[in-house]
Amino acid sequence: MTAGELLNKIMSNVIEGREDKNAPFPEEKVGEPGVKELTQQAVKQGMDVNEIINKGLLPGMKVVGEKFETGEYFLPDLLIAAKSLQAGMEVLKPLIVKSKVKPLGKAAIGTVKGDMHDMGKTLVKLMFEGAGFEVIDLGIDVPREKFINVVKEEEVQLLGMSSLLTTTMLEMGAVIDCLKEEGLRGKVKVMVGGAPVTEEFAEKIGADGYAIDAVRAVARAKELLAMK
Amino acid sequence: MTRKYFKFLSDEEMQKIHESSLRILENVGMLVDHERARQMLHDGGAKVDFKSKRVKFTPDLVTKCLQRVPRTVIYGGRTPENDMVLKTGGELYARGNSGQTSYVDLETGEYRGGKLEDVKQFAILMDALPNINGVGPLHPGDVPTTTADIHSLRALLENQRKHINNQAFGVKNLKYELEMIVAVQGSREEVKKRPLFHNIVCVVSPLYVSEEDVDMLMLAGEYGIPSGFADMINVAATGPATLAGTLALGNAEMLGAACLNNILCPGKPQTYFLEPGVTDMSTGALMLGTPENVILCSALAQLANTLYQLPVETAAMASDWTITEEAVLQKGMNGLMAAYHGASFIFGCGSIDTFMAQSPVQLVIDDEIVGMIRRVIRGLEVDEDRLGLAAVQRVGPQGTFITDPHTRKYMRGEYFQPKLFNRDPRTVWLSKGSKNLEQRAREKALRILQEHKVEPLDSHVLKELDLLAKKADQELAK
């Protein structure tokens, strides 16, 4: 396959969410190379890591995001596409480290204390990784100290907090207050999200940004960090 | 009243779901995150893997536990007139629910953060409305965050007389709340006989029970209080994407909860407590008012009634978003179908926006809707006199029944009398100001608040509640 054909195949397999050759959908394609095998082949053919990412993997994710916005794709489609993108990135990881390709930015994300919901947070994480961010996933039920420590110790530029319960969303404000007390507020952009959260609430508690879904979260984060 | 039933599921389908639930409990089990409980469950016959915290239940154990769970649940009010007796085939009750944080202002219609004053206002309305049998508080924002449940419980105890659906934030809070109802009811014996509230703990789908919830379950058990073991399984997110799959898993969790309840708190009754959700496939948001919710609530109610004879408490009066016309249809469809499948206690009255806000206007409307649902499921009696042969013979061809004594005899008992929905012909309605449903509901709510008085609790009880609230803030407020 030519480089161009290979990149197109990588892109279309991300769009279809075909992680590897065993992907169960679409049924007619089971057994055909998926993102993992195609990325391995691209590496074998000596293609540039940046090219594979920027002309194969990420464009595929962009199309997926667009289809999601129009309602053609549902959340499961988004998630499986993000997983297949990750599979490609896993193949490239050792080469990325070697070639010192820098991530677009570094972020940490978690669901606040008392809250066990993780689907939305995981989706945001995957979309951010798909956009080229390095993301530290703090998990669920995250105590305030853990949020503070990751800002202190990991040089993250963006802190994301999620809550799906009306009773736990107030924790977000508490974390922002803690950041202020520790003199860390200026070091990081804070974004919040989750079903009960609104733009007004985000403003009220002093967050920098809010987005209604994972796709828009990426766009908003790039705005906040003055990225293209 | 003999309840009449629809059947969503055939007998064969019910069996298939039941078998699937048993397989889940036997082969997958539940993760019970509480060391002492795991030991007790092991001693009670469950198969416990102490390392993975997985608890598995054999079909035999499930059957045994089910047999031992009391089938009648008494939910008490301040006085016996407000008591409820929940059992399969028994009366249909309706209530509000707890946990909202927003309120739709009665005067301005503004959707805003809920305050303690709102809990009080809502309580008075719920006390007055005849078709509402139980209440639940929102969590106000103008009290300490960590004790909001205690403050709202107090507001309910002081301002209304019906049974309360309590949602304690944790076991320390629950202790204060239990002491509050002991103060109101006079003694722990009285609380045990006719508990003023039932507390909610959760099965976190799929198949998880937290340490705090088990602590609350056991503490409530010590006081003799039934715990609603709420199940809020969501299709495609925390349960399978198929309705049958979510039914099987949700039912498994309910049966598992019955085992937990029976082994950890023997003798304590419980309801089959459902709040199945649908996940919007584009946003991941929880939905409670879709057609699939109707199917889930009804089918689970049918299972619980037919196979297990456990009284069903279900979120059939929920709705999504805040638009009245949409809410009315969602609540009407779901409430009626759940009632027709044997639900004993339908909840969500006064709640909108997927349980995120309470609306006094919606509460008044829901009271009417419940009244209509009750009338429909009351059905009709078919007996000699009602068949009216004598009347037909009297009236004959081309006659009228309006003046017949048969009509006089039955006209007051046969029909639903609306207190809110409009019956006026168009011209009369126009002359009265062409008020829509929301406007009339608002006027009714304001009228109730002006006229309705709730007898205050004795001053020594009020003092005790005040002391407990202050103590709770001292210990727990952050």
The domain that holds B315 is classified in CATH as 3.20.20.480
Which tens digit of pLDDT belongs to each residue from B425-462?
999 999 999 999 999 999 999 999 999 999 999 999 99
**A221 close to A189: Cβ distance less than 8 angstroms:** yes
The answer to whether residue B445 is domain-embedded is no
Contact between B233 and B249 (Cβ < 8 Å): yes
Q: How far is A136 from chain B (nearest CA, A)?
A: 22
Mean pLDDT of chain B: 94
B312 and B5 in contact (C-beta within 8 Å)? no
Looking at chain B, the whole-number percentage of residues with pLDDT higher than 90 is 88
pLDDT in tens, A56-78: 998 998 899 889 888 899 988 98
Residues B235 and B97 in one domain: yes
Question: Is residue B269 located within the same domain as residue B396?
Answer: no
Picking from B204, B284, B354, the nearest residue to A75 by CB comes out as B284
Whether residue B227 lies inside any domain: the answer is yes
Q: What is the mean pLDDT of residues B196-222?
A: 95
pLDDT over 90 at B161, yes or no: yes
Mean pLDDT to the nearest integer, A130-137: 87
- Residue B360, classified by CB atoms within 10 Å of its CB into exposed (0-12), middle (13-18) or buried (19+), is buried
Domains, in order of start, for chain A: 3-99 (1.10.1240.10), 105-224 (3.40.50.280)
Q: How far does A51 lie from chain B, in Å, by closest CA?
A: 31
Q: Could you give the C-alpha distances from B152 to B214, B401, B457, in angstroms and in order? A: 23, 53, 16
What pLDDT is attached to residue B2? 64
Whether residue B282 and residue A123 make contact (CB cut-off 8 A), yes or no, is no
* Boundary-marking domain end, from B328, B357, B378: B378
CB B471 within 8 A of CB B453: no
**B446 domain residue, yes or no:** no
In a shared domain, residues B351 and B392: no
- Could you tell me which of A170, A176, A221, A224 has the C-alpha nearest to residue A196? A170
State how far residue A177 is from chain B, nearest Cα, in angstroms: 13
**Interchain CB contacts (distance < 8 Å): A and B:** 34
Reported ipTM: 0.71
For residue B355, pLDDT over 70 is answered with yes
Amino acid at B352: I
Does residue A104 surpass a pLDDT of 90? Answer: no
Whether the pLDDT of residue B134 is over 60: the answer is: yes
pLDDT value of residue A226: 87
Contacts of B236 in chain A (CB under 8 A): 76
Cβ contact, residue pair B356, A213, below 8 Å: no
> With contacts defined as CB-CB under 8 Å, which chain B residues touch A123?
284
Cβ atoms B50, B20 nearer than 8 A: no
Q: Tell me which residue in A68, A76, A195 faces B285 most closely, judged by beta carbons.
A: A195
pLDDT band at B265 (very low <50, low <70, confident <90, very high): very high
pLDDT of the residue at B81: 94
Task: Give B36's contacts (C-beta < 8 A, 6+ positions apart).
Answer: none
B257 in the same domain as B180: yes
Q: Which amino acid is at B380?
A: L
Instruction: Work out the mean pLDDT of chain A and round it to a whole number.
Output: 90
Omega before residue A76 within 30° of 0, cis:
no
Banded pLDDT at B323 (limits 50, 70, 90): confident
Asked whether B138 and B152 are in contact (CB, 8 A), the reply is yes
pLDDT of residue B1: 55
Nearest to A170 among B145, B279, B282 (CB): B145
Question: Looking at beta carbons, which residues of chain B come within 8 Å of A196?
Answer: 101, 356
pLDDT band of B319, cuts 50, 70, 90 = very high
Task: Please report residues of A whose CB lies closer than 8 A to that of B101.
Answer: 166-167, 196
Closest chain B C-alpha to A117 CA, distance in angstroms: 10
Is A196:B101 a contact under the CB 8 Å cutoff? yes
Same domain, B226 and B158: yes
Distances (CA, A) of B325 to B355, B365, B438: 17, 11, 9
The DSSP secondary-structure symbol of B274 reads: E
Question: Domain total for chain B?
Answer: 2
B247 and B136 in a common domain: yes
In angstroms, the separation between the Cα of residue A211 and the nearest Cα of chain B is 12
Q: What is the mean pLDDT of residues B216-239?
A: 92
User: Do residues B300 and B352 both lie within one domain?
Assistant: yes
Q: Would residue B352 count as lying in a domain?
A: yes
Same domain flag for B370 and B397: no
Which residues from B are below 8 Å from A166, CB to CB?
A: 99-102, 139, 356
- The residue of chain A with its CA nearest to that of B208 is A116
Does B281 contact chain A (CB < 8 Å)?
Answer: yes
Tokens of B247: 């039914």
3-state class of B347 per DSSP? Answer: strand
Chain A residues within an 8 Å CB radius of B209: none
Which residues are within 8 A (CB) of B9 and not within 5 positions of it... i.e. 6 or more apart?
B17, B299, B302, B303
State how far the Cα of B321 lies from the Cα of B309, in Å rounded to an integer.
Answer: 34
Q: Cβ contacts (< 8 Å) between B99 and chain A: which residues?
A: 166-167
pLDDT at position B210 over 90: yes
Chain B from 126 to 145: CB within 8 A of any A CB: 139, 145
Contact B282 A196 (CB under 8 A): no
b/e map A33-65, b = 16+ CB within 10 Å: bbbbbbbebbeeeebebeebbebbbbbbbbbbb
| pLDDT band, residue B314 (cuts 50/70/90) | very high
Alpha-carbon gap: B86 to the closest alpha carbon of chain A (Å): 29
B110 touches chain A (CB under 8 A): no
Asked if residue B113 is part of any domain, the answer here is yes
CA B219, CA B36: separation in Å to the nearest integer?
13
Cα–Cα nearest to B100, from B136, B59, B64, B62? B136
Mean pLDDT for B412-417 is 88
Question: Are both B312 and B338 inside the same structural domain?
Answer: yes
Whether residue B305 contacts residue B341, with contact meaning beta carbons closer than 8 Å, is answered with yes
Q: Across residues B163-191, what is the average pLDDT?
A: 96
CB contact under 8 A, A196 and B101: yes
Q: Please give, rounded to a whole number of angstroms, the shortest distance from the CA of A149 to a CA of chain B.
A: 21
For A182-227, how does the pLDDT look when each residue is reduced to its tens digit (9 = 90+)? Answer: 999 999 999 999 988 989 999 999 999 999 888 889 999 999 998 7
> What's the confidence (pLDDT) of residue A228?
54
User: How remote is the C-alpha of A140 from its chain's centroid?
Assistant: 16
Torsion angle (degrees, nearest 10) of CA B319, B321, B326, B327:
30
pLDDT of residue A215: 82
| Range in A113-127, B123-137, B142-156, B249-263 the model is least confident about | A113-127
Nearest CA in chain A to B209: A116
Banded pLDDT at B257 (limits 50, 70, 90): very high
Instruction: List CB contacts (< 8 A) between A213 and chain B.
Output: 283
pLDDT of residue A131: 80
Q: Are residues B153 and B291 in the same domain?
A: yes
Written as one letter, the residue type at A42 is A
- Selecting from A166, A196, A213 the residue whose C-beta is nearest the C-beta of B283 gives A213
Contact A195 B100 (CB under 8 A): no
More confident of the two residues B178 and A80: B178
Residue appearing with tokens 């062409």: B434
**Is B283 within 8 Å of chain A by CB?**
yes
Closest alpha carbon to B352 in B376, B369, B371, B340: B369
* Three-class SS of A19-36: CCCCCCCCHHHCCCCCHH
Residue B1 placed within a domain: no
All residues of chain B having their beta carbon less than 8 Å from the beta carbon of residue A212 are 283
Q: For residue B469, give every residue at least 6 positions away whose Cβ sits within 8 Å of its Cβ, in sequence order, or none.
A: B147, B150, B151, B154, B176
- pLDDT, residue A123, reads 82
* Residue A169 binned pLDDT confidence (cut-offs 50, 70, 90): confident
Q: Which residues of A touch B139 (CB under 8 A)?
A: 166-167
Residue B227 CA, distance from chain mean position: 12
CA distance B456 to A2: 84
Q: What share of chain A has pLDDT > 70, as a percent?
A: 97
Degrees, nearest 5: CA angle B53-B265-B98: 90
B100 and B183 inside one domain: yes
pLDDT per position as a tens digit, B78-112 = 999 999 999 999 999 999 999 999 999 999 999 99
Nearest to A166 among B100, B283, B285 (CB): B100
Q: What residues make up the domain containing B404?
A: 384-414
At B413 the pLDDT is: 86
Residues A36, A91: contact at Cβ < 8 Å? yes
Residue B426 and residue B102 in contact, taking contact as beta carbons nearer than 8 Å:
no
B204 vs A116: CB contact, 8 Å cut-off? Answer: yes
Out of B139, B204, B286, name the one closest to residue A167 (CB): B139
Q: pLDDT value at position A132?
A: 81
**What pLDDT digit, counting tens, does each position of B20-53 carry?**
999 999 999 999 999 999 999 999 999 999 999 9
Using the beta-carbon criterion (under 8 Å), do B100 and A196 form an inter-chain contact? no
Nearest CA in chain A to B282: A74
Q: What is the mean pLDDT of residues B400-409?
A: 92
Q: Which residues of chain B lie closer than 8 angstroms to A71, CB-CB?
A: 282
Q: How far is B69 from chain A (nearest CA, A)?
A: 30
Contacts of A167 in chain B (CB under 8 A): 99, 101, 139, 169
For range B63-85, the mean pLDDT: 94
Q: Are residues B323 and B239 in the same domain?
A: yes
- Indicate whether B12 belongs to any domain: no
- Mean per-residue pLDDT for A79-84? 88
> Which residues in chain B are contacts of A119 at CB distance < 8 A?
237, 284
Phi first, then psi: give them for residue B343, nearest 5 degrees: -55, 140
Cα B63 to the center of its chain, rounded Å: 26
Q: Is the dihedral of CA B128, B225, B89, B345 positive or negative?
A: positive
Rounded mean pLDDT, B186-213 = 95
B195: exposed, middle or buried (Cβ count in 10 Å: 0-12, 13-18, 19+): buried
- List the one residue out of B292, B377, B299, B301 whose CA is nearest residue B345: B301
Per-window interface: B 150-209 vs A, CB < 8 A: 169, 204
pLDDT tier at B260, thresholds 50, 70, 90? very high
Quick check: B77 pLDDT over 70?
A: yes
Residue B191 forms part of a structural domain = yes
